[in-house]
């Protein structure tokens, strides 16, 4: 099976498995709301007086330390760890160091001759942001050890893992050292080259100018990969077991003559941009090499405006008549009135080809700067490399492509002008929908009925066109349009409005029903009542329920939530859903609250505040704990569900929720024929365990599913906690 076939199969499999998962159209709004509730990135606790003294002493004593400089490891061990230990760190993210502490660490590192090259971390910390605490520790170590994390040797990675655990960034150090029966690092390194050369005697892997070596090991042995630093040398790798038996030796010549544009991009990334695997670190040589090879690259479906732009651009190497990259950068910064930047890209480009090119050598400088509001802003300058005169300025907007920084402005504009516009994409999408749904296409182009949301996705290869209905009469549609005009309809809900799809249509317009205002439920009931009877399980339950006006009851939603919180005896994270449902003798607030280990559905008398029902809501399987439970009373849902789904499903649910162990197993175990044999006798369902680790259950459904008698038998011995999952979950 080749790679493309495998990709096709995996994508089909995942799409099928995940088909029931529906995106939440209000996620962005909810996240922004949550961010506002929680405040902006958690800022750090203030420095303790003792720590201030400690840091001041460290800084004051730097002169004394200069004679015996601290290494990167010592800075982490002697400075970072004690500070982390002093700070209690109950949370995992962004809460161990204050930005003052991180800045102090950076200063200590620099005073000891370790310069962190990541300007962005320095800038961010100087701006008072503590978000980069883990990155700061890593940056100090990278500056001290050199290279990338995965180019460190296994001892360095192990040490780093230990530090991460000490500080509290990690629970476990996954970077272990070879243990008993495993080949020690020094021996493995000595062996790797000689074993490789047994098969490839001419491999020039010992030349550090031509190769970078990456080592790794696990229970299967040692792995060494020799990455070439140019496009002509082959890549070598060797894998041998801890008893020194060679498992695999490879030599992969770089067949760049047949590379596609994306393979070429990967190859250049690997050689010139290996520090981050991005274009940012290609440098002039990397871009020059890329431009020399791109014309011969095989075009694939990934070829788009970006590659057109690269192809139309001349990338140059510096010559003696040019101002330097640093001088060009200084000109740009002076023009911006900036005394620092977050990040910088500098490219030497040619305008035109051949002789003309030599007359038009241009530095393209792109800086990420802080604007007056303290927000990052990307700006480009095009500077004549001979005179230093600025020929063009550009500020990146929200729709400017990242790759605009890697070509002249006029080249970028030209390739963009030649490509499909959003208006074209919308027309293509409407045409495709009209062709497919000739008899039922709604007025998609009419702004009175539809909002149309268009955006460029897939790195500019596609436009995603979403038609969002403004009324319940029509459903939504989603179409992707490729730059060659091919349209693919992801979905189009153009069926007529019925009692069965009214809820979903109203959710399109009003947002998730979990958080509808009660007035929306009242309107929903009125619309539903005027329609022909529903036919689905959900539709029938909705039709059977009545949703009164909230002003008719004594308890407001907030009052009801207070009742629930008092009942829980602890602060719940959130009320997830709410609705007021008519009942005898009083209307009932049905509220789902977020509790551990599962949510809880409450029914609260809306006149007296009495708690009428509590039910665990597992919610991981909509067929098991159905969404409808949130919108109907349990007394209405359970009989209907018993009729709809039958006694086995209901017995599973009642069993799982009644028995802690069963709950922890999850209902899916009951459905697994390798775990249980199920027999049904009227309303009595017996789950006979065929797995020695699981107990058996005999469950008799009572009162139309509202209650059950459950007998547990064949109870197994408790499993030791250390036993892992039988399915080998990593």
Partner 1 sequence: MQNVPGPETDLQVTFTQLVETYQKPLLNLCYMNLRDRTLAEDAVQEAFLRAYRALGKFRGECSEKTWLMRIAVNVCRDMQRSGWFTRLNRYITPDDLPEAASEEPDNTLADAIMRLPGKYREVVLLYYDQNMTMPEIAGALGIHASSVSRRLKTACEKLRDALGEEGQHG
CB of 78 to partner 1, least distance (A): 26
Pick 52 or 489: Cβ nearer partner 1: 489
| CA-wise closest residue to 633 among 599, 655, 671, 601 | 601
The Cα 387–Cα 390 span in angstroms is 9
Pick 160 or 578: Cβ nearer partner 1: 160
Binding span for partner 1 by CB under 8 A among 47-55, 61-69, 460-468, 680-688: 460-468
Contact 565, 571 (CB under 8 A): yes
Pick 15 or 49: Cβ nearer partner 1: 15
CB of 667 to partner 1, least distance (A): 8
- Binding partner 1 by CB under 8 A: which of 85, 280, 359, 392? 280
Does 21 bind partner 1 (CB under 8 A)? Our answer is yes
Pick 111 or 538: Cβ nearer partner 1: 538
Q: In what order do the strands lie in the sheet with 221-228?
A: 211-218, 221-228, 235-240, 246-252
Size of the site for partner 1 (CB under 8 A): 103
Pick 27 or 715: Cβ nearer partner 1: 27
Does 489 bind partner 1 (CB under 8 A)? Our answer is no
Pick 175 or 291: Cβ nearer partner 1: 175
Helices 518-529 + 502-510 axis angle, to 10: 150
CB of 39 to partner 1, least distance (A): 9
Pick 291 or 476: Cβ nearer partner 1: 476
The Cα 678–Cα 669 span in angstroms is 12
Pick 131 or 316: Cβ nearer partner 1: 131
CB of 144 to partner 1, least distance (A): 19
Tokens coding 39: 């405040």
State the sign of the Cα–Cα–Cα–Cα dihedral 47, 48, 51, 52: positive
Binding span for partner 1 by CB under 8 A among 1-9, 74-82, 536-544, 630-638: 1-9
| Contacts (CB under 8 A) with partner 1, residues 490-529 | 508-511
Contact 215, 188 (CB under 8 A): yes
Binding span for partner 1 by CB under 8 A among 154-162, 356-364, 457-465, 544-552: 457-465
- Binding partner 1 by CB under 8 A: which of 131, 222, 578, 631? 131
| Contacts (CB under 8 A) with partner 1, residues 135-174 | 148-151, 171
Integer distance in angstroms from the first to the last C-alpha of the chain? 26
Does 727 bind partner 1 (CB under 8 A)? Our answer is yes
**Contacts with 150 (C-beta within 8 Å, 6 or more apart), sequence order:** 157, 214, 216
Binding mask 585-624 vs partner 1 (x if CB under 8 A, - otherwise)?
-----------xx-x------------------xxxxxx-
| Contacts (CB under 8 A) with partner 1, residues 337-396 | 342-343, 368, 375-376, 378
Q: SS3 of 32, please?
A: helix
The Cα 666–Cα 619 span in angstroms is 11
Tallying the residues shown for the chain, one arrives at 730
Does 253 bind partner 1 (CB under 8 A)? Our answer is no
Binding mask 68-97 vs partner 1 (x if CB under 8 A, - otherwise)?
------------------------xx----
Spell out where 144-245 has E strands: 211-218, 221-228, 235-240
Binding mask 416-455 vs partner 1 (x if CB under 8 A, - otherwise)?
-----------------------------------x-x-x
Name all contacts of 179-186 with Cβ < 8 Å and 24+ positions apart.
181/242, 182/217, 182/219, 182/242, 183/217, 183/221, 183/222, 183/242, 183/243, 183/244, 185/153, 185/154, 185/155, 185/215, 185/217
- Binding partner 1 by CB under 8 A: which of 71, 237, 440, 688? 237
CB atoms within 10 A of CB 643: 12
| Contacts (CB under 8 A) with partner 1, residues 193-232 | 214, 216, 223, 225, 227
The Cα 570–Cα 592 span in angstroms is 15
Contact 345, 361 (CB under 8 A): no
Binding mask 649-688 vs partner 1 (x if CB under 8 A, - otherwise)?
---------------xxx-xx-xx-xx-------------
Pick 603 or 625: Cβ nearer partner 1: 625
Q: What are phi and psi of 142, to 5 degrees?
A: -65, -40
Q: HSE (CB half, 13 Å, CA atoms) of 157?
A: 18
The Cα 614–Cα 572 span in angstroms is 15
Does 41 bind partner 1 (CB under 8 A)? Our answer is yes
Does 43 bind partner 1 (CB under 8 A)? Our answer is no
Does 720 bind partner 1 (CB under 8 A)? Our answer is no
Pick 23 or 181: Cβ nearer partner 1: 23
CB of 541 to partner 1, least distance (A): 19
- Binding partner 1 by CB under 8 A: which of 28, 209, 245, 418? 28
Does 29 bind partner 1 (CB under 8 A)? Our answer is yes
| CA-wise closest residue to 318 among 287, 272, 277, 281 | 287
Which three-class secondary structure string do you get for 559-603?
HHHHHHHHHHCCCCCCEEEEEEECCCCCCEEEEEECCCCCEEEEE
Does 299 bind partner 1 (CB under 8 A)? Our answer is no
Pick 330 or 618: Cβ nearer partner 1: 618
CB of 264 to partner 1, least distance (A): 12
């Amino acid at each position: 099976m080749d790679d493309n076939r495998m990709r096709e199969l995996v994508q089909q499999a995942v799409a099928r498995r995940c088909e029931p998962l529906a995106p939440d159209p209000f996620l962005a709004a909810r996240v922004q709301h949550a961010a506002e509730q929680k405040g902006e990135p958690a800022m750090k606790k203030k420095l303790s007086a003792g720590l201030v003294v400690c840091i001041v002493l460290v800084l004051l004593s730097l002169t004394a330390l200069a004679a015996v400089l601290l290494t990167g490891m010592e800075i982490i061990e002697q400075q970072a760890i004690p500070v982390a230990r002093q700070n209690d760190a109950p949370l995992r993210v962004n809460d161990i160091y204050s930005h003052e502490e991180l800045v102090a660490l950076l200063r200590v590192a620099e005073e000891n001759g370790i310069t962190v090259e990541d300007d962005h971390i320095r800038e961010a910390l100087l701006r008072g942001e503590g978000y980069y605490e883990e990155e700061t520790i890593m940056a100090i170590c990278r500056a001290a050890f050199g290279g990338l994390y995965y180019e460190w040797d296994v001892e360095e990675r192990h040490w780093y893992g230990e530090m991460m655990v000490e500080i509290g960034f990690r629970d476990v150090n996954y970077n272990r050292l070879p243990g008993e029966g495993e080949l020690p690092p020094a021996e493995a390194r000595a062996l790797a080259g000689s074993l490789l050369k047994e098969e490839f005697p001419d491999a020039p892997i010992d030349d550090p100018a031509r190769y970078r070596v990456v080592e790794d090991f696990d229970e299967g042995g040692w792995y060494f990969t020799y990455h070439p630093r140019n496009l002509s040398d082959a890549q070598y790798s060797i894998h041998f077991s801890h008893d020194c038996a060679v498992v695999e030796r490879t030599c992969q010549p770089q067949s760049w003559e047949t590379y596609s544009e994306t393979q070429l991009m990967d190859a250049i990334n690997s050689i010139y941009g290996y520090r981050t695997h991005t274009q940012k670190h290609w440098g002039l040589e990397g871009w020059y090499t890329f431009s020399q090879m791109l014309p011969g690259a095989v075009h694939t479906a990934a070829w788009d405006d970006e590659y057109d732009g690269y192809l139309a651009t001349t990338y140059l190497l510096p010559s003696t008549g040019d101002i330097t990259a640093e001088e060009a950068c200084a000109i740009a910064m002076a023009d911006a009135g900036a005394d620092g930047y977050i990040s910088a890209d500098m490219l030497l480009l040619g305008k035109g080809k051949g002789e003309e090119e030599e007359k038009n050598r241009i530095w393209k400088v792109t800086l990420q700067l802080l604007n007056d509001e303290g927000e990052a802003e990307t700006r480009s300058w095009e500077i004549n490399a001979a005179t230093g005169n600025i020929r063009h300025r550009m500020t990146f907007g929200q729709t400017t492509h990242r790759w605009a920084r890697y070509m002249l402005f006029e080249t970028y504009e030209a390739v963009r002008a030649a490509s499909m516009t959003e208006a074209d994409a919308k027309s293509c999408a409407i045409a495709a929908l009209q062709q497919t749904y000739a008899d039922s296409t709604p007025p998609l182009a009419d702004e009175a009925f539809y909002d149309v949301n268009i955006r460029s996705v897939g790195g500019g290869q596609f436009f995603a066109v979403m038609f969002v209905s403004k009324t319940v009469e029509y459903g939504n549609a989603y179409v992707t349009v490729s730059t060659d005009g091919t349209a693919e309809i992801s979905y189009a809900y153009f069926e007529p409005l019925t009692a069965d799809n009214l809820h979903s249509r109203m959710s399109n317009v009003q947002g998730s029903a979990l958080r509808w205002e009660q007035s929306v439920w009242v309107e929903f009931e009125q619309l539903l009542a005027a329609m022909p009877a529903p036919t689905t399980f959900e539709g029938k339950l909705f039709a059977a329920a009545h949703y009164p006006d909230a002003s008719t009851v004594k308890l407001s939603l907030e009052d009801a939530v207070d009742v629930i919180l008092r009942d829980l005896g602890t602060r719940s994270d959130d009320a997830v859903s709410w609705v007021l449902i008519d009942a005898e003798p009083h209307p009932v607030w049905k509220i789902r609250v977020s509790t551990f280990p599962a949510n809880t559905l409450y029914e609260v008398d809306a006149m007296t505040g009495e708690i009428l029902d509590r039910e665990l809501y597992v919610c991981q399987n909509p067929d098991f704990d159905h969404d409808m439970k949130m919108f109907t009373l349990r007394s209405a849902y359970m009989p209907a569900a018993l009729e709809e789904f039958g006694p086995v499903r209901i017995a599973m649910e009642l069993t799982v929720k009644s028995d802690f162990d069963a709950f922890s197993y999850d209902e899916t175990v009951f459905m697994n024929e390798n775990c249980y044999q199920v027999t049904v006798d009227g309303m009595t369902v017996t789950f006979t365990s065929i797995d020695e680790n699981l107990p058996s259950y005999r469950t008799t459904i009572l009162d139309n599913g509202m209650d059950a008698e459950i007998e547990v038998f064949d109870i197994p011995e408790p499993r030791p906690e250390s036993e892992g999952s039988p399915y080998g979950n990593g």
